[in-house]
Amino acid sequence: MSVSTVFLAFAAFLVGAFVPQSKSTKQRVGLGLVAAAAVALIAGLWPDPSDAKTLAKAVDTSGEWRYQLTSLIFVALNLIVDLLYVRLDPRVRTG
């Protein structure tokens, strides 16, 4: 773990500990630890730029539709919006 990762995790801990409005020390420390753990996990899983070029493989995408992922995400987001705002909101249902 590099010094910058430790610094970022500590900064995330401070933000997580000082942002909540409650006076509960347990809640503040818990949020700070979760924020620090999230930053450390993301920094640990992030590849180095030098490793990324060596690990990158050429992928044959000639048989795939170009906008497949975009359309799948667009359909999923539209279904979520439809479910949350149209079907569950009584103001929209009654007109």
Q: DSSP letter at 48?
A: P
**Residue 4 identity:** S
For residues 5 and 30, membership in a common domain is answered with yes
Q: List, in order, residues 6 or more apart from 68 with CB less than 8 Å away.
A: none
Predicted pLDDT at 53 = 67
Q: How confident is the model over 50-71, as pLDDT tens digits?
A: 776 676 776 666 777 778 888 8
Number of folded domains in the chain? 2
For residues 1 and 45, membership in a common domain is answered with yes
What is residue 9's three-state secondary structure? helix
Q: How confident is the model over 11-39, as pLDDT tens digits?
A: 999 988 888 887 888 888 999 999 999 99
The whole model's pTM is what? 0.53
For residues 4 and 46, membership in a common domain is answered with yes
Q: Binning pLDDT at 50, 70 and 90, where does residue 92 land?
A: low
For residues 62 and 30, membership in a common domain is answered with no
Q: How confident is the model over 71-87, as pLDDT tens digits?
A: 899 999 988 888 877 76
